[in-house]
Structure 1
Amino acid sequence: MARKSGRRLAAVAALLTAVGLTSACGDGTEPADAAKNPGNATSTAAGKPARRTEPLTAAELRPALLTAEQVVGFEITGSSARDGAAEESSYDAEETVSPDACRPVRDATKGDGEETAAAQSTMYRGKSALAPRSTNLLSYSEEAARTRMTLLREALGTCDRFSFSNAFGKAAVTSEVLDAPDLGDDTLRYRTLSRLDEGGFAWKLVTAVRVGGVIATMDVQEVTGPLSPEKLATFKPEPGPDEEVIAGLVENVTDAQGASGR
């Protein structure tokens, strides 16, 4: 990672951590035999790749992350992958969401302990940008992935307002469901605004796409200090600039599912 990227990440890390906007998949190591068990597949119509019946491994997920050639105009600053669920941190254990039924909205880009593998990367739009884009791939059985998307959809239907509290403070959150692109097997898109109790705001735009047993998410984050409503609106993340790379990510995941099923 370049020194300039390191300094920029350090400058925003504290704010992102305070509202829980960072994510991680582990140390980036992969078991040597992770790619030796591609799982089973079932036949489909002629000319179509076989349907994957087993969850993808970290070794299969990681190549599905976006590459520098696919995200011209963005700078990828790091990536990682892991098999199994992430260990729960003390920070996660201390966070409460009220009502608790809204937790899927808060944690849509994070693992829930049921994933079999995960991969993650972070990028910025240009070298001087401060708003990170986080890409997360979570691998499940197809049934489990369907269930997780259903829980998120149900939560979005009732959680237009909720709150959370963690070691860094409290925040009141409003959410709005947005039109989602026609990608994958199931797609959801929403935007949240967190009002931090010490002042300041955090916007988050999330697009979640299920492809078989993989849930791919991209979230765009904007953290600010205290602002007037008029000024705050100018920081609201819009999906337009990211549509092409989100479509590319879904294509990568679709290819990974097909390659592992052949």
Structure 2
Amino acid sequence: MLFRNVSSKWKSYRYRFSPWLKFNIRKRNARQVAENLDKILEDEDIIGNIADFFVALEKKGTEDVESVMNRHFGFVVRRGPSKVVDGDMGVIVSKGYIPAGSVTSIYPGTIYQPYDPIFFQSINNSFIFRCLDGIHIDGNDKRLSKMIFRSCSQRDCVGPYMVSDMSWLTPELSNPLSIGQYVNNQTKKFPANVAYQEIDFTENFAFELRKYLPYIFYSASSDIEQSSTNRLIRSVVLVSLRDIREGEELLSSYFNIIS
């Protein structure tokens, strides 16, 4: 039992352990990324598409969010059992199909600037995404990470209005795209069919739609002398590399080589 517990923790941690990465990178399929240039789609197109979807969610009435997603994108993705060994939960296309070059999901979480403390949150946490510029996004929906996201969301709300979506921490999603943290790493049998793309939502993004964005800053806006509504909101979306059919699982590459 002890060995299984240690083995499980190691499998979660090894992707952030530099010596292990150094000796294992050649054994893995990796995606080559030019420094600060990891763009599959134009940022403006992604942001516009997501904004249109949020508007559709605003107008859904009694319609459920998955129906809105299917109507807007032509597919539905859900969390479900992974086909990958040791994958546990994954993200499955439950309805429709995803054309190549489509936004498939969003990687949610708390945004940590390079100077923010993240040590305790990172312990036994395999959901921390490191962006190209050193920003981290903690997509863990349990334990300390969950408490921090909820606390920061309540701290930054403007009166009765929320500026972030907390529903990704629950089974009932307000934004069904917010499951990208559950996309598993590719294997030799199941190669990657999606890739991560970093974008920034600017102050021009409609305030009334911010409640669907699954992001919050760890640092309070006063810490950097800026209004929380005027800060660039780092987002990570997963874009399809090929057509993905109903029943397939979304898989990415956890190994990105920065050239």
TM-score range, shorter chain: under 0.3
| Larger proportion of strand | 1
TM-score computed with the length of structure 2 as normaliser: 0.24
TM-score computed with the length of structure 1 as normaliser: 0.24
Greater RCO between the two (CA within 8 Å, min separation 6)?
A: 2
